[in-house]
Structures are given as structure tokens and as C-alpha cells.
Structure 1
């Protein structure tokens, strides 16, 4: 099992505060002979629709020397997990959770805007110290 991201518990606590129930820590994806591990799986009851929403969350801290290198690695992991989830659990939405400073540094810049404009990923931004979700970003 891979090591947890430094913000793992911060995101987990933020999701709980946002009324999500953590169902998997980690969410194991068995595909062929390989096991992959998404950081968190969660669900939330949508009372109005009497339905349930399920998510999987990849948590990335972006602590290496280059935010772009970290973005390349995170995006590759995200795409791999997304493709497998489509096969195994198509109802579960995948999100990349990033600290709000990373959103400001990368996703408010042209490179991040390009990824969002091309519907490459869904984001959760969070404040690590306060352990709160700042934004849910679903490209339209």
C-alpha cells in the first residue's frame, strides 16, 4: 500500500465536515492482476433526490521542487484511476484534492485553465490548517 500524502487527514476531516461519509481509506481498485489505491472513497446522501453521491479522491500536496512536475505525475495518476473507475464504478466521480495555494499557483494560470477548459479533471481545493473544503470545481 502506498504512503499517504501529508494532507491525507486534512482532506479526510474536511470531507467529514462537508457532510461526506468516508467509506474507503484507501479505496482499492482491483484491475487485472494489479491493485491500485485511491486515497479516499466517500458517499453523501442527497436528501432531495433520495439518492447517493459517491466520490473518489486523489490527494496531492505538490511539495516537490517543481509544481509542473507534480502536476504531470498527479494528472497521470488521475487519468489512470479515472479510466479504471469508469470500468468498475461508473457512478463514482473522481476528484483531485489540492491545497488552495496550489489552485492559485497552477490552476489560475494558463496551464491549469487549459486542463479545466478541456475537462481533464475535477478539483477539490482545501485549506489544510482549517481542514475545510474551499471549492468543488467541475469543468462545464
Structure 2
């Protein structure tokens, strides 16, 4: 029997909000976090939020598809930071534009995005496994 899992959009919306809050707090209270973690934390949380957002939108897609789309999106945003024109740099100067588009390309951001997507995958696996357990107990 093939296990079909549809992600609960309400749960994923709550998770997205939690990750967003953690990301904003990591920026504000980064001085509390050790430097070797703080360097990557914001970008990893951003990528986790992207993963959860993709899982929210495509709630019936397989984990591999969601992970590939989320990682591709993050990498494309990072690569877009190599492009500098007045119109996009003006968008980047706004708070929301800077949070979404970033400012400058860094190879280390690609590592942080990979870690963040990995965290999203782990969260998704935990949720889907617990769903399987609950589903099998109700039979």
C-alpha cells in the first residue's frame, strides 16, 4: 500500500510564522548567539521558511519535489544578487526587499540555505511520520 500524505496547511502556516519570528529574533538578538552559528542562522531559517512555504502551497507533492523546488528558489535568489541594476537595488534598499532578495552574493549563503532546507525536510519527515502513526492507530 502506498502511503498518501496531504500536509495540513494550518499547521504549516503556523510553522512558517514561528520560523519567521525566530528569524527576526535571530537578527535582533544575534549578539546572544555564538558567532559561528549566528553567521548562518538567519539564512538557514529563511530557507526553512521557504521550504515550509513550498510545502504549504504544494501540500500534496512528494518531499523530494518540495525540497528541490525550495532549494532551487533559494539558490536562484542568491544568484540574483550578482545582478545589480538601479531598479532591483532600490527594491533591496527597502526592509522587505532586503529580507527577500538579500544584498550581495556569498557562497556561504548557499551552504546555509542547504542546511535550512535540510531542517525543513526533517520537520516535514517528523510530521509525516507522526501522521502515519496517528492514521494507523485510528484503524
Structure 2 length-normalised TM: 0.37
Larger radius of gyration: 2
Task: Determine which structure has greater relative contact order: mean sequence separation of CA pairs < 8 Å that are 6+ residues apart, divided by chain length.
Answer: 2
| Higher normalized strand content (fraction of residues) | 1
| Higher normalized helix content (fraction of residues) | 2
